Amino acid sequence: MDRLSRVPIFVAVAKHGSFAEAARRLGMTGSAVSKQVQRLEADLGVRLFHRTTRQLSLTDEGSYLFEHSAPLVEGLEEVGELLAGRKAKPEGLLRISAPVGLAQRVLKTPLATFASRYPEIGVHLELSDRFVDLVAEGFDLALRIGHLEDSSLVARRIADVPLVVVASPALLATHGHPETPQALAQFPFVHYVTDSGRSRLTLQQEQNEPETVVCQGRMSSNNDQMMVAFALAGLGVITLPRFMVEDELARGELQVLLPEYRIVPTRRLYAVFPNGRHLPLKTRILIDFLVDSIIL
């Protein structure tokens, strides 16, 4: 066994603080582990551990070696697990959380196709517009539009989500068609919030400077379907992902306001999952599939 082969043994001892525990996890005898660490010390010409009958601790040199070698050893272990996972058969239950509107208008076909392609993977899709606690509630991943705020989670971008400002012909007949973003300040809005009030909307035309307008909220809802219903009734302007109102736009029931402007910042659809060393194969396969399947 050469010097490099002894480093993972040293890392295991340092991590677990015990020759016996390191030996158990490595599938070696305690004497073999001790011997390899002693030979590594001899190779390096330094003492790596303070040894007493009651305690095992790192020397300064041992701490330095552990700090610089542990990430490399863990990285190699992870690569090995990932390579093994590539050959494994994807199976098991996937628990997914997604917003109601996204599932109804975007996810139905991709998830049905995924389930047909991977019969060994079970899919449970739970629809909710709230931000679920993935770890506490036992979800493998969530699909979310917006920004990632929880630092304990990891997100992968699935697709950009174009937003549009829309209103019914009846509302426009009363208030006219806005020609500038600032004109929207005179329109009633239906906001996606828990209470009525004011909301800021920023729009940008090509390379011009973004313009921010304060929009007056007449009504509000935490459900996008209700917002669409209010807009169709002529009760206010709404801002939603285009896929949420695509059918209404095609039928002429809603119209895009200021189509030469885009809403900034750009919203994105993310697959969000708990922070860990690597994803289970079933989860990784689903995310890759959605990246390839969904274009908004």
- Residues 239-259 have pLDDT tens digits of 999 999 999 999 999 999 999
- As a whole number of angstroms, the distance between CA 21 and CA 12 comes to 8
pLDDT at residue 133 in the model: 85
pLDDT at residue 81 in the model: 63
pLDDT at residue 117 in the model: 93
- Going by pLDDT thresholds of 50, 70 and 90, the confidence category of residue 2 is confident
- Going by pLDDT thresholds of 50, 70 and 90, the confidence category of residue 197 is low
For residue 119, pLDDT beyond 80: yes
- Residues 49 and 37: beta-carbon distance below 8 Å: yes
Kindly state the percentage of the chain with pLDDT values over 90. Answer: 61
Mean pLDDT of 57-78: 88
For residue 29, pLDDT beyond 70: yes
Report the mean per-residue pLDDT for the chain: 88
Mean pLDDT of 94-118: 93
For residue 222, pLDDT beyond 80: yes
pTM score of the predicted model:
0.65
* Residue that is written with structure tokens 């041992």 in the block: 62
pLDDT at residue 3 in the model: 81
- As a whole number of angstroms, the distance between CA 162 and CA 262 comes to 8
* Residue that is written with structure tokens 């079933």 in the block: 282
- Residues 228 and 240: beta-carbon distance below 8 Å: yes
For residue 87, pLDDT beyond 90: no
In the DSSP assignment, the letter for residue 156 is: E
For residue 86, pLDDT beyond 60: no
- As a whole number of angstroms, the distance between CA 59 and CA 69 comes to 15
> Which of 131-135, 166-170, 182-186, 197-201 has the weakest average pLDDT?
197-201
- As a whole number of angstroms, the distance between CA 62 and CA 14 comes to 8
Question: In sequence order, what E strands does the chain have?
Answer: 49-51, 56-58, 92-98, 121-127, 141-145, 153-161, 163-167, 188-191, 198-204, 211-220, 238-241, 255-256, 262-263, 267-274
| Closest to 227 (Cα-Cα) out of 249, 244, 207 | 244
For residue 32, pLDDT beyond 60: yes
Can you list the domains of the chain with their CATH numbers?
3-87 (1.10.10.10), 92-160+268-293 (3.40.190.10), 163-266 (3.40.190.10)
pLDDT at residue 112 in the model: 95
| Closest to 9 (Cα-Cα) out of 69, 56, 81 | 69
For residue 228, pLDDT beyond 80: yes
Instruction: State both tokens at 32.
Output: 């073999």
Mean pLDDT of 192-200: 67
